C-alpha cells in the first residue's frame, strides 16, 4: 500500500517558505519509490505558522517547518 504525502503548496505561507522545493524533492523520490509513496499537492493544512507543512499517511501526521532533511527522514521511515 502506498503512503500518501500531502505537501501544502497552495497556501500562501508554505509557498513563501519554499514548499515547491519540498514538493519537488519528495516527487523525485516518488519516481524512484513509486510502489511505496504517492506525493500530492494540497491546500492549506492549517499549520501556517509552521510553514512549510506536510501531512503523511492515513493518520495524517503533520510535519512542520519541513526542510530537505525532514523530507529524507519521512522517506526513510516509509521505506523502513
Considering the rule CB under 6 A, would residue 47 count as an interface residue with ligand FES? yes
d(CA 52, CA 1): 26
Size of the site for ligand FES (CB under 6 A): 12
7 vs 75 by CB, closer to ligand FES: 7
Is 45 one of the binding residues for ligand FES (CB under 6 A)? yes
| C-beta separation of 51 from 43 below 8 A | no
Site for ligand FES in 11-40 (CB under 6 A): 11-14
Grid coordinates representing 51? 510553514
Q: How many residues does the chain have?
A: 80
For ligand FES, the closer CB: 32 or 41: 41
Amino acid at each position: 500500500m502506498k503512503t500518501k504525502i500531502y505537501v501544502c503548496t497552495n497556501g500562501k505561507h508554505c509557498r513563501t517558505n519554499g514548499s515547491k522545493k519540498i514538493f519537488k524533492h519528495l516527487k523525485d523520490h516518488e519516481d524512484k519509490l513509486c510502489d511505496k509513496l504517492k506525493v500530492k499537492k494540497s491546500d492549506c493544512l492549517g499549520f501556517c505558522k509552521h510553514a512549510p507543512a506536510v501531512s503523511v499517511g492515513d493518520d495524517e501526521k503533520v510535519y512542520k517547518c519541513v526542510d530537505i532533511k525532514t523530507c529524507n527522514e519521512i522517506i526513510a521511515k516509509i521505506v523502513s
